[in-house]
């Protein structure tokens, strides 16, 4: 693999992190850009917590991104390098989708996953005007929307299965330092 393809791949992945921020902040939360297809799914996700857009919609989004990016990327950088960019972009999008779902459905594995989940849940349950990045806080820092995640109060109706002990209905001891269930 040549260096230009590797760099293009990394640039594609980095570009996705910016697109993730743009979609989430402006299409998902800014009323000036509503209604749109992303906002409809996003508002439902915030209201239902465990709702995620169907996989076929995400596959369509990946296919559209590939179709839109492939021609210009190949024209600008050549076929192999352009393909590297597109694979990086779409690959990071798919990684984002997996990471976002797992933040809601599974306990975090490792320091980064636990941090990312708290960063994201600060957005969900404390202030939807901040922490729009799911995979990285880079663009929140750039645009001034980063806030450290403090103690997170999760409405009981939106609790994630991993958070509460099924026997007591209370926050599991492992998460009590950072989370609380509220009515």
Profile the chain (183 residues) by mean pLDDT over runs of 10 residues. 93 97 95 90 88 89 92 94 96 95 88 93 95 96 97 92 90 94 91
Look at residue 1 in the predicted model and tell me its pLDDT: 63
End-to-end CA separation in angstroms for the chain: 54
Q: Is 144 left (phi over 0), alpha (psi -120 to 50) or beta?
A: left
Rounded CA gap, 162 and 141, in Å? 29
Amino acid 23: pLDDT? 94
**Confidence at residue 108, expressed as pLDDT on a 0 to 100 scale:** 79
Q: Is the pTM of this model over 0.85?
A: yes
Burial class (CB in 10 A: 0-12, 13-18, 19+), 78: middle
Structure tokens at 135: 């995979």
At 93 the pLDDT is: 96
């Amino acid at each position: 693999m040549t260096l230009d393809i590797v760099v293009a791949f990394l640039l594609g992945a980095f570009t996705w992190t910016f697109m993730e921020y743009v979609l989430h902040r402006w299409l998902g939360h800014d009323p000036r850009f509503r209604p749109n297809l992303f906002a409809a799914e996003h508002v439902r996700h915030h209201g239902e917590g465990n709702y995620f857009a169907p996989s076929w919609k995400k596959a369509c989004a990946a296919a559209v991104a590939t179709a839109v990016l492939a021609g210009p990327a190949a024209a600008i950088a050549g076929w192999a390098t352009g393909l590297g960019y597109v694979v990086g972009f779409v690959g990071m999008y798919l990684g984002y989708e997996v990471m976002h779902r797992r933040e809601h459905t599974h306990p975090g594995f490792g320091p980064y996953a636990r941090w990312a989940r708290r960063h994201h849940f600060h957005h969900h349950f404390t202030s939807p005007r901040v922490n729009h990045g799911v995979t990285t806080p880079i663009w929140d820092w750039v645009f001034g929307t980063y806030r450290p995640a403090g103690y997170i109060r999760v409405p009981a109706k939106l609790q994630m299965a991993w958070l509460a002990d099924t026997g007591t209905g209370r926050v599991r001891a492992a998460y009590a330092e950072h989370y609380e269930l509220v009515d």
